[in-house]
């Protein structure tokens, strides 16, 4: 069984943390509708959606990916780089402890789940504005006994590693080379985003299906030209909060 852990859109989402985007008005009702469509697509792709209730006082809390890194046997609860997001982790940990052994990133380490890209038994971790070297070293120590390697990747110009690169096939990465060095990912196939769509590198691979934002049609054509089947969803209101597809869920498998 595949679980997709999500959380409802906070009514205070307009007060979200922003680093690289200018603040825009967010239609909360439209954001909720788009998020529900996203959840419906995950269900259609075989996930059992487990939705946490919205958090009125936590504007960014819909972006649950940043609160944890879920591996096959363990879950690492993060310590988000944005101080005001640290209260988001408690409720996520309560759910994840039903499925995994729980570990915790501690002060002075910071780590956002959006900076962690898993490819096989390697975790590529972005050293970004939200994830520091201390937090990455803590993650390395936690996951080593489970057989995972950690590679540090420098990120510049965007919020998280997965803003710049994401997995779109077993050995294929979608990448914005302006924000991350492709040489950090040796011996892998790459699809470059369209240069007119700098935020287009974030996609969500669910099994063999790729979920992709409606906002980036030029990059979508590049994906489809490579034979990748794309399932499109509109998340334009959530993108105003510097969110992306991977941000909105924690997806993991459990035994039947």
Q: Which residues are catalytic?
A: 160, 247
Q: How many other CB atoms are found less than 10 A from the CB of residue 57? A: 11
Phi, psi (degrees; rounded to nearest 5) at 234: -90, 115
């Amino acid at each position: 069984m595949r679980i997709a852990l999500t959380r409802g859109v906070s009514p205070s989402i307009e007060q979200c943390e922003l680093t690289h985007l200018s603040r825009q008005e967010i239609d909360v009702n439209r954001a909720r509708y788009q998020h529900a469509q996203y959840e419906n697509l995950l269900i259609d792709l075989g996930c059992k959606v487990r939705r946490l209730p919205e958090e009125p006082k936590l504007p960014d809390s819909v972006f649950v990916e940043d609160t944890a890194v879920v591996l096959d046997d363990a879950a690492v609860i993060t310590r988000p780089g944005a101080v005001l997001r640290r209260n988001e982790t408690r409720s996520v940990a309560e759910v994840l402890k039903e499925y995994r052994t729980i570990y915790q990133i501690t002060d002075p380490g910071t780590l956002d789940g959006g900076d962690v890209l898993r490819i096989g038994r390697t975790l590529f971790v972005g050293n970004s504005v939200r994830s520091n070297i201390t937090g990455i070293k803590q993650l390395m120590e936690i996951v080593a006994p489970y057989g995972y390697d950690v590679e540090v990747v420098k990120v510049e110009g965007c919020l998280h590693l997965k803003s710049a690169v994401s997995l779109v096939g077993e050995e294929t990465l979608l990448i914005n080379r302006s924000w991350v060095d492709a040489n950090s990912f040796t011996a892998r196939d790459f699809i470059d985003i369209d240069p007119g769509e700098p935020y287009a590198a974030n996609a969500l691979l669910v099994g063999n299906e790729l979920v992709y934002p409606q906002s980036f049609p030029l990059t979508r054509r590049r994906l489809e030209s490579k034979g990748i089947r794309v399932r499109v969803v509109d998340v334009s209101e959530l993108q105003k909060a510097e969110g992306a597809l991977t941000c909105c869920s924690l997806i993991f498998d459990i035994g039947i």
